[in-house]
Structure 1
Amino acid sequence: MAEMMYWQAILRAHDEELARDPLVFAMGEDIGVAGGTYKATSGLYAKYGPERVIDTPISENSYTGIGVGAAMLGCRPIVEIMSVNFAWLAMDQLMNNAAKIHYMSGGKIRCPFVMRVPGGTAHQLGAQHSARMEKVFMGISGLRVVTPATPRDAYGLLKSAVRSDDPVVLIEHESMYNLKGEVPDEEFFTPLEGVEVMRPGRDLSIFAYNISVHWALQAAERLAKEGIEAEVIDLRALKPLDRAGIAASVRKTHRALIVEEDEAPVGVGAEVMALINEDAFFELDAAPVRVHAKDVPIPYNRRLEKAAIPNADDVVAAAKKLLGK
């Protein structure tokens, strides 16, 4: 095992896949000479050259379209959108081409395309740079959507995404790039489907993804000191969601708490609650509960920004309420 930062794990995955397959290339704004806004492609331009690590203009729909077209012809592009907020500009290519071409071609054309998008609320970047778009991508048939909560999964999920024949949106979090964690020295791949039990428990299940996994783990530590054993589940793959894995945890604990950084309406939490009601309703001892952001544009003001976003305190309070304590 080697301890590395989240961005270093992403860099390592890039490097290995570029070295392995000449049909893998990376595109995006400032990913080449500058090494990426979050250093996740640093050094790759010098190593692989401008034809494999391509600096693009500020033209998200255009270079996403180039990547999608290249994927249809057999390449395996990794397209980075500098901020998930700007992915709106690339949605036509992503939704109408990447996600649909396999179906519309009767299975004759694949689109092994990866879009990397940093997102989330990252310390006073304002409403237009603090989007959480997981639920948008989840609503598009034909895409896979994954979101790593640890350096280990940042490496393993990117490796699996590049090798997948399906289009994959990989959502990172801007506040986690300097997060440290252990990553195995040998090559490995994290499945693009399935949940991971981050902490076993018996009293309630806390479902989380991305940065909210860390709030859930912090809350579980605090709850354990009061004799409450929470099971923390990293959803990790948001499309498709692991129905069986979610239901299995609910059958074990009989209570469900879903934690997300996004606003609640039409969100990941709402979808998880729907699956629980469909697959494990009669296992529940209480109605599922959500912890989520306020339904407002994220403020720039530091105090207001903190007030809009949930944290471990909110998870602890919701867990106790769910347990009637």
Structure 2
Amino acid sequence: MVKALNAGLKRAMGDDENVLLLGEDIGKLGGVFRVTEGLLDEFGENRVLDTPLAESGIVGTAIGLAMNGFRPVCEIQFDGFVFPAFNQITTQLAKMTKKHSGAVSMPVVIRIPYGGHIGAVEHHQESPETYFAHTPGLRCISPSTPNDAYWMIQEAVRSDDPVVFFEPKSRYWQKGEVDFSEHGAELHVSRLVRPGSDVTVLAHGAMVTTALQAAELAASEGISLEVVDLRSISPVDYEPILQSVRKTGRLIIAQEASGFVSVGSEIAATVAERAFYSLEAPVLRVSGFDVPFPPARLEKSFLPDADRILEAVDRSLVY
């Protein structure tokens, strides 16, 4: 996924000279995860800018650049570091276009490596997507495969609205085929990734791989799980989700983030509203617990795994 994101950014910058990259250590170092490696040599220091350690300044500068015709792509080094820029993102970036009755567009991408599974220290393994999905004016997406990462980062750069691009850092080293043709992945479309008949499992980001692992284990016991990749956190593409639920009659939503007032909560409520008569069991959620993200040694106790998804499957099937 790292190489796919790098290739996607490189193509976006080659296609449009107004695309700029901003972030901490993204130039000579190539970023902590090497997503921007080599881009400084390719495009120069006027388009790949190493910034001070000031996330509010990064996003504030990007807003000014966007107002002057550029398409800035900001890298937030780790998920927990985005909060110093929270005011800029939610009170300025998200509202600027509406405030000017559409006369000002905000083509800003904010890349955030997020989630756990890497054994990192405090503020390096959080899942803050709900904060931004809750904010009108922001588009929030999360790829789960290298192919999606390659195409979705380009679509995000082309968007005239601000996009918060959540990159599941635990899948940075996951390999997969990338289709470099002109038929890329659309930005706000949910996708069926494994057909099944008994229970639908909906996930996004790193949890898609976990859901697929659960589906393999369930298949060995004669249970057929259908896995849907959310892909777009906001706006949500509900039709593939509802089609799946109407077929299976059951839905489990898996996410790394804590469960209370979360993306999973919103989707569960909406599915209950729009597909109530198709449900054979309550919508169940499998999530991180409602506590601050624990020290690295305890992360496996906090993060959902295939076993926790399968436990929810068992509960769903007893109804």
Structure 1 and Structure 2 fold alike (TM over 0.5): yes
Partner of 1:221: 216
| Correspondence 1:27 to 2:22 | yes
Q: CA deviation at 1:43?
A: 0.5
SS of 1:180's equivalent?
coil
Bigger drift between 117-126 and 100-109 goes to 117-126
SS of 1:74's equivalent?
coil
| Correspondence 1:94 to 2:118 | no
Counterpart of 2:17, as a letter, is P
1:200 to 195, 203, 208: 195
Within 5 Å, which residues of 2 pair with 1:1-325?
6-302=1-297, 304-324=298-318
SS of 1:307's equivalent?
helix
| Distance (whole Å) between structure 2 residues aligned to residue 123 and residue 145 of structure 1 | 23
2:79–2:127 Cα contact (<8 Å) kept:
yes
SS of 1:316's equivalent?
helix
Identify unmatched segments of 5+ residues in structure 2.
Answer: none
2:246–2:275 Cα contact (<8 Å) kept:
yes
| Distance (whole Å) between structure 1 residues aligned to residue 117 and residue 201 of structure 2 | 23
Q: Residues 136 and 46 from structure 1, CA distance in 2 versus in 1: closer, same or farther, beyond 3 angstroms?
A: same
Q: CA deviation at 1:184?
A: 1.0
Identify unmatched segments of 5+ residues in structure 1.
Answer: 1-5
Q: CA deviation at 1:188?
A: 4.1
| Distance (whole Å) between structure 2 residues aligned to residue 122 and residue 257 of structure 1 | 21
Q: Percent identity?
A: 40
TM-score (norm 1): 0.95
Superposition RMSD in Å = 1.2
Q: Residues 265 and 228 from structure 1, CA distance in 2 versus in 1: closer, same or farther, beyond 3 angstroms?
A: same
Counterpart of 2:48, as a letter, is V
Counterpart of 1:214, as a letter, is T
Counterpart of 2:265, as a letter, is A
2:127–2:257 Cα contact (<8 Å) kept:
yes
Q: What is the count of residue pairs matched by the alignment?
A: 319
Partner of 1:3: none
2:190–2:238 Cα contact (<8 Å) kept:
no
Q: CA deviation at 1:190?
A: 2.0
SS of 1:27's equivalent?
strand
1:83–1:119 Cα contact (<8 Å) kept:
yes
CA deviation vs aligned residue, 1:33-77 (integer Å, no higher than 9, x gap): 101111110011111111000000001001111111111222111
2:112–2:165 Cα contact (<8 Å) kept:
yes
SS of 2:176's equivalent?
strand
Q: Residues 191 and 316 from structure 1, CA distance in 2 versus in 1: closer, same or farther, beyond 3 angstroms?
A: same
Q: CA deviation at 1:159?
A: 0.7
